[in-house]
Structure 1
């Protein structure tokens, strides 16, 4: 449907006058009349009733009017978006809980300083769920644990993620593995590590609060796998034993290959 014809139709409907519409559109009256007739011919209906005082919408015109308004609005929105395609309006960011707590804030502050007009939206979840959100185009980028090895995803950046096994400093260690979520990559990694390095069997308990996890470890109830930055943030550096874990999964900043953020070059160079 020709949007130019719809614009003429809307103007005539608003002004209730061919002459007034022609003046507003800077057309001749005959041009406006011709365009209305063309639209009526295309649709197969009369859109106006002619009266001595001007024109009024017919039943069919009344039905078309809200659709015409909506169509033009969508066209205008699309035009604005395409004109600003080289500008990142909104950046939808996904991040694991660990990376969010230990490292995300400096990156947010850097983005806010360098792109003051850009809005940021966040999703904090497990690596598995964040990957699914990326593949469903619900996120622009995501900070996840390890290389996803997915043909549809591209790695923009890699951040070293130092992680330590956290145990009681003085008390005997209980046979419990404390994790933030049982579905997170940290949980899977720690469970495998314990199986390979400890003879005792451990049960896994999810506590979605890092301070609570650290408190339980300090009290001797079990072990956990955390970033030293998180331990320091909650003031437990001098109260728990920390053993660095080798070959832990680094944090990868990823996006869809067919949906690169406008600022992807900037994101490739960003550092902590």
Structure 2
């Protein structure tokens, strides 16, 4: 039984699509289909059945999932064991873009200080790429958005809620129960990226049947934050990028919880059931980050 056939099976299970599984594996659709068919012949049972234009797991296919996971896990553990003694052990950390920018530079030196014997490899990538790499055992632990997958374990680690912030002295500072109409009168620095559901921000104005006064629309967090800091407008920004500025008073949060609650977290994510070697160190670094905010405060 070829391990690549079992991996193809698990990718199709995850994506519920041969086409998407093929893209993630960098293979053609016919190749993935052939691997599934070969696996079915070896197991003497159908793992998937056609339903409309898609495919669904059969009962036998669903029963096979835990065994497929165990085979892949055992294979990876065997590879790792054989490498021991030849090279320094390598730990691979992945993170989405915002965590890469604001948390990883704080945490990596702490992890290295406590584990001089390890070599650290860091990968910054979008959420879907991180999921693929976790499933392929190319990453030990990833920091990413919430992802529903039976093979992945997640724990909320970092608060990354979206907050409305302004420069100190702004007309909205210290105002309570701000209305959507009042917000629409103020210039807005609008930052948008794939990591957040910004349609919910638009909903504030949609419900009130008004248009926000967007003066700047930017695709870079630091640019957006800088514009808010210089008084060019208010901005809805994720907490990780403004955490320090809120502590020092360089930015002020405007309470709009009565209009919008965009609670989001960054999750520590790993392949079940093995807890990553660094997990306790990761939890400790999160605590220190929440207390200190940046390396300069240590």
TM-score by length of 1: 0.53
Asked whether 1:254 is paired with 2:265, we answer: no
Q: What are the residue-to-residue correspondences of 1:123-142 with 2, within 5 Å?
A: 123-142=123-142
Tell me which of 195, 198, 218 is aligned to 2:203. 195
Question: Which structure: larger Rg?
Answer: 1
Query: Shift in Å at residue 144 of structure 1?
Result: 1.1
Q: Any gaps of 5 or more consecutive residues in structure 1? A: 1-77
Query: Shift in Å at residue 251 of structure 1?
Result: 1.6
Q: Any gaps of 5 or more consecutive residues in structure 2? A: 1-77, 172-184, 288-298
Given that residues 165 and 224 in structure 1 are in contact (C-alpha distance below 8 angstroms), is that contact kept between their aligned partners in structure 2? Answer: yes
Q: Root-mean-square deviation (CA), in Å? A: 3.7
Report the secondary structure of 1:158's partner residue.
strand
The alignment of Structure 1 onto Structure 2 pairs a total of residues equal to 184
Task: Find the counterpart in structure 1 of residue 36 from structure 2.
Answer: none
Per-residue CA deviations over 1:66-96 (Å, capped at 9, x if unaligned) read xxxxxxxxxxxx99942739x9811111112
Report the secondary structure of 2:187's partner residue.
coil
Given that residues 167 and 224 in structure 1 are in contact (C-alpha distance below 8 angstroms), is that contact kept between their aligned partners in structure 2? Answer: no
Report the secondary structure of 1:121's partner residue.
strand
Judging changes above 3 Å, is the alpha-carbon distance between structure 1 residues 93 and 268 closer, same or farther for their aligned structure 2 residues?
Answer: closer
Asked whether 1:159 is paired with 2:167, we answer: no
Judging changes above 3 Å, is the alpha-carbon distance between structure 1 residues 241 and 141 closer, same or farther for their aligned structure 2 residues?
Answer: same
Task: Find the counterpart in structure 2 of residue 174 from structure 1.
Answer: 187
Looking at structure 1, the residues matched to 88 and 266 of structure 2 have their Cα atoms a distance apart, in angstroms, of: 24
Q: What are the residue-to-residue correspondences of 1:46-125 with 2, within 5 Å?
A: 81-82=81-82, 84=84, 89-125=89-125
Task: Find the counterpart in structure 2 of residue 226 from structure 1.
Answer: 238
Judging changes above 3 Å, is the alpha-carbon distance between structure 1 residues 80 and 194 closer, same or farther for their aligned structure 2 residues?
Answer: closer
Given that residues 140 and 270 in structure 2 are in contact (C-alpha distance below 8 angstroms), is that contact kept between their aligned partners in structure 1? Answer: yes
TM-score by length of 2: 0.49
Given that residues 177 and 191 in structure 1 are in contact (C-alpha distance below 8 angstroms), is that contact kept between their aligned partners in structure 2? Answer: no
Looking at structure 2, the residues matched to 265 and 235 of structure 1 have their Cα atoms a distance apart, in angstroms, of: 29
Report the secondary structure of 1:107's partner residue.
helix
Judging changes above 3 Å, is the alpha-carbon distance between structure 1 residues 225 and 191 closer, same or farther for their aligned structure 2 residues?
Answer: farther
Q: What are the residue-to-residue correspondences of 1:204-223 with 2, within 5 Å?
A: 205-210=217-222, 212-218=223-229, 219-221=231-233, 223=235
